[in-house]
């Protein structure tokens, strides 16, 4: 075999390896498509793709976790290793932003108000909670556990 064919075969092997590493998908994007995620307000800590199946947390806010905890105070729902929400219920005005806070060492999928949010281990996401029909009781689910918490959403008649 001459040198040209050797180079061609090496290039084809490299391309096949990249294709296989990408799960057979021809889309070679290194970061997840943000357009498929639900809309969030403020800070998130979301995964970037380093290796197949290995999320690496990347902060997308200039604020630290401690600053966000101080800012959102009681407007925060923490999820533990067993997907239990703390607090298990809260009352909020429509349009209020809350901090969803995963305090476990595994990825949790949090669902509320018709949207799902994937939180990496020890990750967090700020979301705005609103509904056109008020008052409204919103169930909070974590992974396969349904209604691990509730949010009683009230009208914001003060405009604040």
User: CA 127 from chain center: how many Å?
Assistant: 10
Give me the pLDDT at residue 7, please.
Answer: 79
Question: In sequence order, what are the residues at sequence separation of 6 or more whose Cβ sits closer than 8 angstroms to the Cβ of residue 151?
Answer: 89, 90, 91, 92, 98, 112, 113, 129, 137, 138, 140
Task: Name residue, tokens 């294709």.
Answer: 19
Domains observed in the chain: 1-27 (no CATH), 31-154 (2.60.40.420)
> Which segments in the chain show pLDDT lower than 50?
25-42, 47-59
Nearest Cα neighbor of 86 from 69, 94, 74 is 74
pLDDT at 34: 35
| Residues 51, 30: Cα–Cα separation, whole Å | 9
pTM here? 0.63
**The pLDDT value given to residue 148:** 94
**Residue 130: helix, strand or coil by DSSP?**
coil
Indicate if the alpha-carbon torsion angle 63, 64, 67, 73 is positive or negative. Answer: positive
Q: Give the C-alpha separation, 34 to 50, whole Å.
A: 16
State residue 157's pLDDT score: 80
């Amino acid at each position: 075999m001459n040198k040209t064919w050797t180079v061609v075969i090496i290039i084809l092997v490299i391309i096949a390896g990249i294709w296989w590493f990408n799960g057979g998908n021809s889309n070679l994007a290194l970061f997840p498509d943000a357009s498929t995620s639900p809309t969030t307000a403020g800070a998130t800590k979301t995964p970037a793709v380093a290796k197949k199946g290995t999320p690496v947390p990347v902060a997308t806010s200039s604020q630290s976790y401690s600053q966000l905890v101080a800012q959102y105070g009681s407007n925060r729902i923490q999820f533990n290793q067993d997907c239990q929400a703390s607090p298990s219920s809260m009352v909020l005005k429509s349009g209020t932003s809350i901090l969803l806070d995963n305090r476990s060492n595994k990825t949790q999928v949090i669902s509320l108000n018709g949207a799902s949010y994937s939180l990496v281990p020890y990750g967090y996401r700020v979301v705005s909670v609103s509904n056109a029909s008020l008052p409204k009781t919103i169930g909070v689910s974590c992974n396969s556990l349904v209604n691990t918490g509730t949010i009683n959403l009230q009208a914001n008649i003060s405009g604040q």
